[in-house]
Amino acid sequence: MTDHPIPDEEHDEYLGPSKSAVKREAHAAQKLGEGLVDLDAEALDDLPISDRLRDAVEEAQRVRARGARKRQMQYIGRLMREEDVEAIEAGLQRLDPNSPENQRIAHQAVAWRDALIDDPQATTRFVEAFPEVDVQHLRQLQRAARTEAKKDQYGKAARALFEEVRAQVVAREEQAPEPQDPEQQD
């Protein structure tokens, strides 16, 4: 008797996923679990994983012997089958700096940073868009970045301004994911 997702012609009933499909899912879960081993403790805190899985991941990070590490990875794969894989994948996506969402946030922060450096009216628009920002600190960062820009040097101050703007954009995204662009604020 075969275990295929194709309905039995005589009885017209679903017999469940095929053995190959089950194995593909198990391998995908194990591979995802192996990706967790590469994360630091802070990143693991941001993921919706059980304590058992977290302990197994931390143990795999400590194990150096090749055979023991392989067994630990298989154990993580087995634990992953009990986890919400989609939620973990979404959490990993948020942590990935190359994800489309993080790229969009970075582009938005760069646009705001450039506007804050180049346009004197951008500060008002930014404060209106992000009322929780520390205006005094923002203006200090803005002045330092403008001084750098006058010298044709984009460095420490521009980076600090970018980080502040990015933190505000991320905080806004967590509250209500609406894109706010400096060009849209006119």
CATH classification (class only), 19-95:
mainly alpha
Q: Sketch the domain layout of the chain as residue ranges.
A: 19-95, 100-185
Helix (H, G, I), strand (E, B) or coil at 130: coil
Alpha carbon distance, N-terminus to C-terminus of the chain = 68
100-185 belongs to CATH 3.30.470.10: no
By residue count, the chain amounts to 186
Mean of the per-residue pLDDT values of the chain: 84
Q: Which residue has the higher pLDDT, 55 or 185?
A: 55
Q: Taken in order 167, 173, 176, 179, is the CA torsion positive or negative? A: positive
- For 83-122, how does the pLDDT look when each residue is reduced to its tens digit (9 = 90+)? 888 888 888 888 887 888 889 989 999 999 999 999 888 9
Rama region for 12: left / alpha / beta (φ>0; ψ in -120 to 50; rest): left
Is there a common fold for 19-95 and 100-185? yes
pTM greater than 0.75? no
Query: How far apart are alpha carbons 186 and 113 in whole angstroms?
Result: 16
Per-residue pLDDT, averaged over 157-180, amounts to 81
166 pLDDT band, cuts 50/70/90, is very high
- For 35-91, how does the pLDDT look when each residue is reduced to its tens digit (9 = 90+)? 889 888 888 888 899 999 999 999 999 999 999 999 999 899 889 888 888 888 888
pLDDT reading at 174 higher than 80: no
Both tokens of residue 67? 């055979």
Instruction: Tell me which residue of 39, 80, 42 sits closest to 61, measured CA to CA.
Output: 39
**CA-to-CA dists, residue 146 to 34, 111, 134, angstroms:** 45, 15, 18
